[in-house]
A and B are shown apart, each in its own frame.
Chain A
Amino acid sequence: MSSLTLVGAVIVLFGTLICLIGGVGLIKLPDFFARTHAGGVTDTLGAGLTILGMIVLAVAFDGPLDYRVLVVIKLVSIAVLLLVTSPIAGHAVARAALEQGVGMDTIPLEMLRQTRFAQDIPRVQLEGTIADQKAQCEGCLLSLNEYATLTSREQLQIAYLRPPFNETQASEFHSQFQSIIETRSGFATKDFLPGGLDSNAVLLKLAVEEALASLAKEATS
């Protein structure tokens, strides 16, 4: 076995090792985007290294020159194809997930703001009855029902990007429940709502619900 063959074999081994790491990451990592990262990035490098190793092996192969050249050309074209398609596939998966709102609760607001998606996310102005609004929320990043189940501060920040109510409804909420929110919820809304309370009725709704829940808890105990 020539030393070149050995080098090629080691590179292939490294490539497969990286693929294995990607596989482990795909199972172990906590959320969707981290998993996509594990799959996409390691796939590119793992497949790339494997093909590089195979090119070295083909060069070291004891055979006719034209045959080896042909194999190398084929491997290089496969590598180029993978280099183009693999990252795009990862991007497409991640983008589709982002547009569907997968795992939005784990992305900090500041991170979202820095992406171009912050501008892309449409701010819908909803009208009509609650049923109508729900229909209009179909396909939004978060549906009305999902808003109602948001609990953490971070989730509220995300919710700020997509207020489902219009301004009138927001100020109604504000005027009705301001005192309850401020005394009960513990959220200093201006910390994460530069536009002020009026612009976000969801938050108010949530805070109200939290406040009411804590009131109910007190009442039972």
Chain B
Amino acid sequence: MSAILIETFTILLFALLLMVGILIGRTRSLFAAVMMSGIFSLLSASLFVVMDAVDVAFTEAAVGAGISTVLMLVTLHLTTDKESPPVKPQTLPLLVSLLTGGALLYATADFPAFGIADAPIHTSATAAHYIHQSYGDSHIPNIVTTVLASYRGYDTFGETTVVFTAAVAVMLLLGGSSRKSIVETIEKEDPIALVGAKMLIPYILLFALYVQFHGDFGPGGGFQAGVMFAAAFILHGMVTNLKATQAAASIRAVGYLIPFGVLLYGGTGFLCMALGGQFLEYNVLSHDPVHGQHYGILLVEAGVGITVFSAILMLYYQFALRGRQ
């Protein structure tokens, strides 16, 4: 019964995804396309939930449906919300899209069927090791957190660096943080939105802290928490004006926080080395290896959270402060 239900849900969600994808391709209003890409992300997040990948769903909902929609809208504010019609029929882009799509479709033939027991992921020794050893190694119930922050700490360090690099690239492209802001304040503050935001922001921050520090036990962690922290500030910036938001989180401080998170992550790794272990080998951080794992994961998750928060807030600042030119 429940298997049929899950299959039905999966098919339904995929059908909706396809529909939204076609609609995004067809519409010429970029505003509608942005909104529908938000819906696309939300549907993907629902799919991930159906497939029991709650951590991924969490990230997709927060980043895809939340933050990237806001960033796209801010970009539309800078440019225009109408797609300019193509001058001539674009055959090359169509060909490239079709080829890429075809290659991806061809690749899916090699995938194991959804949910079968002898898929490589279930038979590999690494996965078995994670499942059997992770609780003994670190006493952390959420295997995803252990895998991300400890077993594959290098990967996550790389991802944090990617976020850092993205923020730096946007800052360079959009003129840097030292530039004088030319923001036009919003003409009318909407009191209803303001009151609503005031009611919500403390709880968003509280929930972000919960997600940050409860990631060991449930879905969540530094990435999601960082996005939520940034979302609270962005919401504040949207309902008031950016001057008030910058009083709370100045652009200079946020700029310092971006590398600070990466340094915290890398510093934890070097601390492990200084204490006689290898890079990011948390066991040596405390007299008890399990405690060491806890400290290490706490520190690197904090690093991830700080970098993601400050990078996303910086992206928003950079776009919103640029003003209409």
Contacts and interface: CB of A to CB of B under 8 A. Distances in A.
Contact of A91 (B188, B192, B199, B200): B192
A92 interface: yes
Nearest to B203: A81
B11 interface: no
Interface string A169-192: 000000000000000000000000
Interface in B162-176: none
A75 to B, nearest CB: 16
A84 B190 contact: no
Interface in B184-210: 188, 190, 192-193, 196, 199-200
A81 B199 CA distance: 10
A153 interface: no
Contacts of A81: 200
Contacts of B196: 84-85, 88
Contacts of A91: 190, 192-193
A92 B193 contact: yes
A95 interface: yes
Contacts of B188: 120
Interface string A75-87: 0000001001100
A73 to B, nearest CB: 14
B211 to A, nearest CB: 14
A81 B202 CA distance: 13
Contacts of A88: 192-193, 196
A85 B190 contact: no
Interface string A87-99: 0100110010000
B200 to A, nearest CB: 6
Interface centre among A81, A88, A92, A120 (most CB of B within 10 A): A88
B190 A95 contact: yes
Could you say which interface size class chain A belongs to?
under 10
A114 B188 CA distance: 19
A120 B196 CA distance: 22
Interface residues of B, number: 7
Nearest to B190: A95
A88 B191 CA distance: 10
Nearest to B196: A88
A92 B200 CA distance: 16
Contacts of A120: 188
A85 B192 contact: no
A92 B190 contact: yes
A147 B188 CA distance: 25
Interface in B86-108: none
A92 B238 CA distance: 12
A84 B200 contact: yes
Contacts of A85: 196, 200
A85 B197 CA distance: 9
Nearest to B194: A88
A82 B180 CA distance: 39
B199 A84 contact: yes
Contacts of B193: 88, 91-92
Contacts of B190: 91-92, 95
A89 to B, nearest CB: 9
A88 B214 CA distance: 30
A1 to B, nearest CB: 17
B167 to A, nearest CB: 29
A95 B239 CA distance: 13
Contacts of A92: 190, 192-193
A121 B263 CA distance: 51
A95 B188 CA distance: 11
B81 to A, nearest CB: 11
Contacts of B192: 88, 91-92
Contacts of A95: 190
A20 to B, nearest CB: 16
A91 B200 CA distance: 16
A93 to B, nearest CB: 11
A110 to B, nearest CB: 23
Nearest to A92: B193
Nearest to A77: B203
Interface string B18-44: 000000000000000000000000000
17 contacts: A81-B200, A84-B196, A84-B199, A84-B200, A85-B196, A85-B200, A88-B192, A88-B193, A88-B196, A91-B190, A91-B192, A91-B193, A92-B190, A92-B192, A92-B193, A95-B190, A120-B188
Q: Which 8 A-B pairs have the closest CB atoms?
A: A88-B196, A91-B192, A84-B199, A84-B196, A92-B193, A88-B193, A88-B192, A95-B190
Interface of B: 188, 190, 192-193, 196, 199-200
Given A81-B200, A88-B192, 14 more contacts: A84-B196, A84-B199, A85-B196, A85-B200, A88-B193, A88-B196, A91-B190, A91-B192, A91-B193, A92-B190, A92-B192, A92-B193, A95-B190, A120-B188
